[in-house]
Amino acid sequence: MNEEYPKPPFASQPQDVPGMQGKMDPYPDCGEKSYKGSGRLQGKIALITGADSGIGRAVAIAFAREGAQVAISYLNEHEDAQETKRWVEEAGRKCLLLPGDLAQKQQCEDIVSKTVAEFGRIDVLVNNAAFQMTHETLDDISDEEWVKTFDINITAMFRICKAAVPHMPRGGSIINTSSVNSDMPKPTLLAYATTKGAIANFTGGLAQLLGDKGIRVNSVAPGPIWTPLIPATMTDEDVKSFGSETPLGRPGQPVEVSPIYVLLASDEASYISGSRYAVTGGKPIL
């Protein structure tokens, strides 16, 4: 099955940030046709940020097919979000759509309060939303863009966790999306890579803070994954060769990342906390 996934080179396909999955070629596999659930998250309530497309969509589909009700937060990609909702509802689960900018403190608090108002609690929180831009020099990074990257990638995570924890029962799970860039920072993604290192440290510290509440905290560190953020934020040359540097010679598909989120969200991971899990196509994180 894995050998059938697309390998570079990929065609030029520039998009505006944050990008639309429906415009991508090849179209990312988020498990729409392939992911099979087995009730591992039956009865759980999940809030997932950045769940309109890419990894977030794959996680939403997997969670729904495992039995969870799902709330998805996204910026303004309404068409993609509706497609995710369609797949969640096709699995027989409710899907709450929560559009808005997570760079704003109020939006971070609102997605939690609206999820709790709809479902009563939050069992699983997946902080997955992210922003990145590619730059060749330090001078190319504006102060405004640096602050925006931190606001979306790590400050929002802090705010959402702070708002959500009072509504999470013992046995709850927080899963944060880090990156292979937290270990091997790509210089042209300086701001993004820096936030991903912060996420890894935030996760390790928070796991220790929340241990007495019975809430587990882990992070997932994907390598190059074929999502809308790639054509929307990278050069044509980077897109063309995307994923070619991995030992497997290709980018991962979102559906290849979602199973680790399912494990970490499930009761099977009851003694797993403070850890980081690599899904990198062979690039080691040691």
Neighbours of 119 (CB within 10 A): 20
Catalytic residue among 5, 35, 74, 192: 192
Instruction: Calculate ∠ Cα 252-258-260, nearest 5°.
Output: 105
In the sheet that 216-222 helps form, which strands lie side by side, from edge to edge? Answer: 95-99, 69-74, 45-49, 124-127, 173-177, 216-222, 276-279
Residue ranges, the chain, pLDDT below 50: 1
**pLDDT for res 86:** 98
- With a pLDDT cut of 90, the percent of the chain lying above it is 91
pTM beyond 0.75: the answer is: yes
Catalytic residue status for 35 = no
pLDDT tens sequence across 181-240: 998 899 999 999 999 999 999 999 999 999 999 999 999 999 999 999 899 988 899 999
Contact 63, 124 (CB under 8 A): yes
**pLDDT for res 3:** 57
- CA dist., res. 234 & res. 228, Å (int): 10
Tokens representing residue 93 in the block: 């689960």
